[in-house]
Structure 1
Amino acid sequence: MFQIGPTYAWSLLVAVAMNIQCTMAGVGSFSARTKYNIEAPDMGTGRQSAKLSDKAWEDLNRAIRIHMNYVEQLPTSISSVLICGLFYPTLAAYLGGAYVLGRHIYGSGYSKDAARRTFGFYIFFLPLIGLIGGSVVGIEKVLWSYYF
């Protein structure tokens, strides 16, 4: 079985960092909408954004996509760092930290040009796979020891 100890706090800290980072991406999306006078419910593809220049439209949509992509993956990343951290707290903290770093690089690159997001994608996606894998292995070990 597992026991929650003080090292699990690092997994919690990484989860909080993910929440903060996603919120800041939301602030970036809000700032872009404000800059280009795009009001809700237009998400960068509506009538208001049709009046923007191509460059302004791309800037707006990149900011929105940075945030939405994070929102789409936040449940997976946070649950994985918390579950993996129950079994492997140090590993989860390192992989979660790499995920946060990769997300930062992804967002920085994407904000300049959509093609520049690829490097950051690999830096956050590979640790995410590790977190999911660590979660599965940890759960499997507990179930195996309980039932067999």
Structure 2
Amino acid sequence: MSGAGDPLAELGVFVGTWVGGGEGHYPTIDDFSYEEEIEFTATPGKPFVAYRSRTWSPGRERPMHTENGYLRHAGDSIELLVSQPTGFVEIQRGDLQGGVLDLTPVSLVASPDAKPVHEIRRRITVDGDVLSYDLWMSHADTPLTHHLKAQLRRS
């Protein structure tokens, strides 16, 4: 996966700041829209990039969600490690093919006080200077359901 001369290899396509917006829906809540900024930051000589996502209500009137982590090489796959201030830590693993990183859950760990989220799945697509993603979630009695869709541009 990572070449001898480039520890990032295909992860380099993610590096940068991405700005845009998305829409959320779920059977138990009202539909909503949001603005988002995602940063993937390389550390020179290391085979991973740091990940940070921040979202706001439209017009950036109020903060909504944030999460932090790493995108890294893991054997012949890529892992996304994410921690959320809502009490979750997740590990997702997948392969990057044709600009599409389809991630499947390896582990989701919740603090005792976190909401009852049972599963999260992510798909991230990079096409030139456009990053888009979809996120599915299983929460409480709701089975795995599409929750978020966003499109961001490299700034």
TM-score above 0.5: no
Larger radius of gyration: 1
Q: Provide the TM-score with structure 1 as the length reference.
A: 0.27
Q: Provide the TM-score with structure 2 as the length reference.
A: 0.27
From the two aligned structures, give the one with the greater strand fraction: 2
From the two aligned structures, give the one with the greater helix fraction: 1
Q: Comparing both chains, which one has the higher relative contact order based on Cα–Cα distances under 8 Å and sequence gaps of 6 or more? A: 1
